Amino acid sequence: MGAFGDDEVRRLRAQAQGLLGPGGRTVADAVRLAAGLQAQDAKACRLQVRARSRGLTAGDVDAACAARPPAVVRTWLMRGTLHAVAASDVRWLTALLGPRAADMYRGRRARLGLDDDLLARALPALERVLSGRALQRDALVERLAEEGVALDPRGQAPAHLLLYAAARGVVCRGPEAAADAATYVLAEEWLAGVADAGPAGDEALAELAVRHAASYGPVSAADLARWSGLPMTAARRGQAAAAGRLAPVGSPRGPLLAPAGAASRVPPPGAVRMTGHFDPYLLGYRDRDLMLPPAIAPRIATGGGFLMPCVLRDGAVVATWRHERRGSGLAVRVESLTGDPDRALSEGIDAEVADIGRFLGLPAAWEWTTGL
């Protein structure tokens, strides 16, 4: 595929994510463009879809997650965190990543009293209490107590039990309840009617490597390991197993990989896109300095895994933003991190704010402030 400079690599990465170009036609398309979206916050997940699609609405995202069979499913996968993925990818990704996700928190579970005996009793208890229904966490904890599995509802034990059960393929997230409250369902009941033809073993590692490169490339093995949560040995093995499907890319940061046959034409400069909280664009790499300059990184990655909403120009973070309901509309405040906007950036933000309003069904207006 040749060699590219830093600016070109950054634009290629933003294009791979669906943040440049036409984006996905469906919610599942948008989810696949990122190889999975962060789903710990429902509002943020909806905006991640908007940034990778054209013409969809927030209601379309909810419908894709609540449909039977679902088009998109939320469960704990990469790095042991909650992701939205295409329903057809849940089983093979859980088989590949679930054991690692479960092992990551073994010590924490022990400190919470989730020992092997309790876990062995909890999984069949979850199957009994969730059979044929979706439950919110408080109701689920109450039903488990009736089954002899007592958890402190005020602590983290319920969350870690659900993560463990999801990693074992027993549960996943169901449809949102009122006020975006989470519900939980039996994974195989929820996936009924979803075809199961995913890869296994090294073929699954190879597929994961190709998906990561297609969504974040050009990338390194270290990028794949950081994004997936797998060890470097597994990341290298996956890329090696996918050697015929990946091609080397030269860059000032060393050799990288992208899908073989992928369009090598770098998108032109000037594209502006606004991403929401926890957007995965910045989570696919060991080193994200190319997209997020170190001088402004603390304003975006504020600790505890929290990522602020970003304004991207050619894939680089130039500002942060926030929105709130104000009367019958949406007020968007854009805060500069790199200086005052020029005309092209202002016009790009105009278009993005209008589209955010369309997506959320509210008229939107924005104002610019400086954070320097």
Task: Please spell the DSSP secondary structure of 275-294, one letter per residue.
Answer: E-TT-GGGGS-S--TTTS-T
For residue 263, what pLDDT band results from cuts at 50, 70 and 90?
low
Note the pLDDT tens digit of each residue in 293-315.
Answer: 999 999 999 988 899 999 999 99
**pLDDT, average across residues 276-288:** 96
pLDDT tens digit sequence for 49-73 = 999 999 999 999 999 999 999 999 9
Within its chain, how far is the Cα of 228 from the centroid? 11
Check whether 175 has a pLDDT greater than 80.
yes
pLDDT, tens digit, 9 for 90 and up, residues 127-166: 999 999 999 999 999 999 999 999 999 999 999 999 999 9
pLDDT for res 186: 98
How confident is the model at residue 253, as a pLDDT? 86
Cβ atoms < 10 Å from Cβ of 224: 28
Res 135: pLDDT: 98
- Angle between helical axes of 221-228 and 232-241 (0-180°, round to 10): 120
- How far apart, in whole angstroms, are the C-alpha atoms of residue 327 and residue 324? 10
Per-residue model confidence as pLDDT tens digits over 318-351: 999 999 999 999 999 999 998 888 999 999 999 9
**pLDDT tens digits for range 207-228:** 999 999 999 999 999 999 999 9
Q: Which residue has the tokens 């010590």?
A: 107
pLDDT for 22: 87
Average pLDDT of the chain is: 95
What does the pLDDT read at residue 197?
Answer: 75
**Higher-pLDDT residue of 172, 306:** 172
What's the whole-model pTM score?
0.95
Tell me what pLDDT residue 265 has.
Answer: 79
Helix (H, G, I), strand (E, B) or coil at 186: strand
Q: Decide: 126 and 169 in contact? Cβ < 8 Å.
A: no
| pLDDT at site 109 | 96
Instruction: Say whether pLDDT at 99 is over 70.
Output: yes
